[in-house]
Amino acid sequence: EDQVTQSPEALRLQEGESSSLNCSYTVSGLRGLFWYRQDPGKGPEFLFTLYSAGEEKEKERLKATLTKKESFLHITAPKPEDSATYLCAVRGHQGYSTLTFGKGTMLLVSP
């Protein structure tokens, strides 16, 4: 059974204070690791897909990296508008097209 664990559960940063979110996973045959952003009262919004160890993807102040056991979402010089819950998910060999999600990291960036 695929499993995803995210840490920390919540993170509070000052504007401009860089940090990283962690996503540890176990999966039989990784066919993609996905990062989503979820704002309060909204559905998850797709950010990145990573497929193999060593791969990196960037979007504005966000950079996602992948190893064989975990992924990191690095946030550089965050702004208050980066405040959201960040969800990590994996697609394994036996999961057809479905995703298994972690419980998320709630990020609050204070001005």
Partner 1 sequence: DAGVIQSPRHEVTEMGQEVTLRCKPISGHNSLFWYRQTMMRGLELLIYFNNNVPIDDSGMPEDRFSAKMPNASFSTLKIQPSEPRDSAVYFCASSTRTGEDSGNTIYFGEGSWLTVV
Cβ nearer to partner 1, comparing 77 with 108: 108
Say whether residue 45 binds partner 1 (CB under 8 A). yes
Binding flag, residue 1, partner 1 (CB under 8 A): no
Task: Say how many C-beta atoms besides its own lie within 10 A of residue 25's C-beta.
Answer: 23
| Interaction of residue 100 with partner 1, rule CB under 8 A | yes
Binding mask 64-93 for partner 1 (x = CB under 8 A): -----------------------x-x-x--
Structure tokens at 31: 């066919």
φ and ψ of 46, to 5 deg: -65, 135
Query: Which of 13-21, 32-40, 60-68, 74-82 is the region at the interface with partner 1 (rule: CB under 8 A)?
Result: 32-40
Residues that bind partner 1 (CB under 8 A): 31-32, 34, 36, 41-46, 49, 51, 87, 89, 91, 96-104
